[in-house]
Amino acid sequence: MDAGAFYLGGDRCQFTVWAPLHKQVAVNIVSPKARLLPMQEAGFGYWQLTADAIAPGTQYFYQLDDQLERPDPASQFQPDGVHGPSQVVDQAAFSWTDNNWSGIPLDELIIYELHTGTFTPEGTFEAIIPRLPDLKALGVNAIELMPIAQFPGSRNWGYDGTYPFAVQNSYGGPEGLKRLVNACHQQGMAIVLDVVYNHFGPEGSYFSDYGPYFTEKYKGVWGGALNFDGAQSHAIRNYFLQNALYWFETYHFDMLRLDATDHIVDLTAKHFLQELAERVAELSQQKGRKFYLAAENDVNDVRILRSIEQGGYGMDAQWNDGFHHCAHTLLTGEQIGYYQDYGRCEQLAKAMKQGFVYSWEYSPFRDRWHGSDSSALPGQQFVVCIQNHDQIGNRMLGDRLTHLVSFDALKLGAAVLLLSPNVPLLFMGEEYGEDAPFLYFVSHTDPNLVEAVRAGRKREFAHFHLEGEYIDPQSEEAFQRSQLRWEMRQEGKHKLLHDLYQQLIQLRRTVPALKKLDKQNLEATTLEDEKLLLLHRWSAESQIFCLMNFNQEPVSCTPKIPTANWKKILDSADETWAGTGAKLPNELVFGQSLIIPASSFALYQT
């Protein structure tokens, strides 16, 4: 059964809750007029009631065995936060204008990840809407929202969300979210939602009062491990399957990004991810348009991406962290934490050509063999980035690449990202070199939990310790310092970087050799001593050749240049891009000696 409160119209509402631990369950209406409505058993541990005189906005708790009063585990809105009553929502009341929206193919996506609370001063869904035209002009055609399920307080990354169906009240609730999704589709932009199915946030989590949502068989990293494969796991699986379909059907999202799926432990014959892919495929067929699932998974297992017919789980795409780590270490020179596994140009070449950097090789950081061979999988199945919320915010200072490398290296990073044969993801502000940090922040009300978060973050920061002032994640300062300075995108070098991103995206969309995400028609070679990457991509209509120098000094070399009539179309060392001056010729000739400026790239086309 689908759990939750479903408004049926005519002030009638159907309530369904899974509470197998109890002998009596009732709906306790607390507003506008208090009354207690007993529920009936409906099988498999579910309780149900269809009640009259329940208008949208009605607030309620569930009463369990005349003792406990708890919010609805499948609440669609928590107007007073994670401890307050749930509220009935009329999901049919919104007037959608996206009936003709058919989505954007996976291989055409340019994704822009943002945090709703820090993307604008207002920190709301509706405040994002006026900025959509600017993002569209940049070339972005999809925004990804960090998790927006109800979390404690008003400051949080969203991964502490406690009510997966309830839209965060401080962001604008259900109405505000629908306005944003509708506006994206009106702009011709897709919208992606980051969802968390591997744990519940710790504050306001009353799930154990209802039933065996958790299992003792496994140890959860962020709290109790969810019960995906034990006794009565059918209801927990159904809960999250329903949630995924809810975001597609009720809120019209185009893709879900599934957080840390390697922490969804399921040893049944049909893994939860496979069942989820099957259900979403059914919905896609019913609606006549494709809905996408993309997984974050640290295991680098190709089973995540293989089709169900091939014995895989059927995810459409996966976040490829290895690509980021390669680019980051080459640009910054860092070798701390998991970056010790990276730093060689040949690894970035492998990421572009194959996908996973570790395909069952020894990982020094993990002290074990890691990964699987993804070379047979198409490029559009890998979402890549050079910055994202994790890779910035899990550093003590929340420092972006802007704080770590030169302006020349920022330009080079943009080329690495946007010339790759994968789906690129930008993190908000990256495109203009935002210099505000992105720190970790929370606003819990439980003092013990606040101390636990502080201690936990300090342990995580130990891998990436840098000199500087530790900012308390519970403080409002951490949140305020993470606010974007949007106006910077029109100033000085910030505008130049923005214009470079815009031009690279335009080339990616219009040059056939870049537009088609074909790893077979790609060669990535290195001159390792000089940290030089040579990228050659081609199609039936065109070819591109790019020289990338990750060294902080100029490199003299005589590279093997593919035979063609090469003409330079973009050079980051050109003074137009605030470079030191172009040294590479406008035309390339085989056997020619070249000087490639430090931290630069040059793109040729034929």
> For 294-327, how does the pLDDT look when each residue is reduced to its tens digit (9 = 90+)?
999 999 999 999 999 999 999 999 999 999 999 9
Q: Is residue 410 over pLDDT 70?
A: yes
Q: What are the DSSP E strand ranges found in 484-560?
A: 522-527, 532-538, 543-549, 555-557
Q: Is residue 466 over pLDDT 60?
A: no
Report how far residue 347's alpha carbon sits from residue 344's, in angstroms, rounded to the nearest whole number. 6
Active-site annotation holder among 72, 209, 229, 259? 259
Best CA proximity match to 197, nearest among 152, 165, 230, 154: 165
Write the DSSP assignment of 325-365 as a string of letters.
HHHHHHHH---SGGGGG---HHHHHHHHHTS-S-EEEEETT
Verify whether residue 249 is a known catalytic residue. no
Phi, psi of 300 (to 5 degrees): 60, 50
Q: Is residue 529 over pLDDT 90?
A: no
Per residue in 377-389, pLDDT (tens digit) is: 999 999 999 999 9
Q: Can you give the pLDDT at residue 467?
A: 61
Residue length of the chain: 606
Place of tokens 């000739």: 589
Q: Can you give the pLDDT at residue 274?
A: 98
Verify whether residue 530 is a known catalytic residue. no
Q: Which of 223 and 302 is assigned the larger pLDDT?
A: 302
Place of tokens 């506008």: 32
Report how far residue 272's alpha carbon sits from residue 448's, in angstroms, rounded to the nearest whole number. 33
Contact 239, 18 (CB under 8 A): yes
For residues 427-445, give the mean pLDDT.
97
Q: Can you give the pLDDT at residue 357?
A: 98
Q: Which of 223 and 546 is assigned the larger pLDDT?
A: 546
> What domains are defined for the chain?
4-87 (2.60.40.10), 521-605 (2.60.40.1180)
Sheet containing strand 532-538, strands side by side: 522-527, 532-538, 543-549, 600-605, 566-571, 587-588
Q: Can you give the pLDDT at residue 528?
A: 66
Best CA proximity match to 566, nearest among 595, 596, 546, 541: 546
**Hey, what are 5's tokens?**
């409160």
Report how far residue 122's alpha carbon sits from residue 474's, in angstroms, rounded to the nearest whole number. 20
- β-bridge pairing 522-527 and 423-427: unpaired
- Give the side-chain half-sphere CA count within 13 A for 511: 22
For residues 446-452, give the mean pLDDT.
91
Contact 421, 381 (CB under 8 A): no
CA dihedral over 247, 197, 399, 413, signed as positive or negative? negative
Cβ contacts of 509 within 8 Å, gap of 6 or more: 108, 139, 515
Active-site annotation holder among 209, 296, 399, 430? 296
- SS3 per residue for 70-121: ECCCCCCCCCCCCCCCEECCCCCCCCCCCCCCCCCCHHHCCEEEECHHHHCC
Report how far residue 419's alpha carbon sits from residue 601's, in angstroms, rounded to the nearest whole number. 11
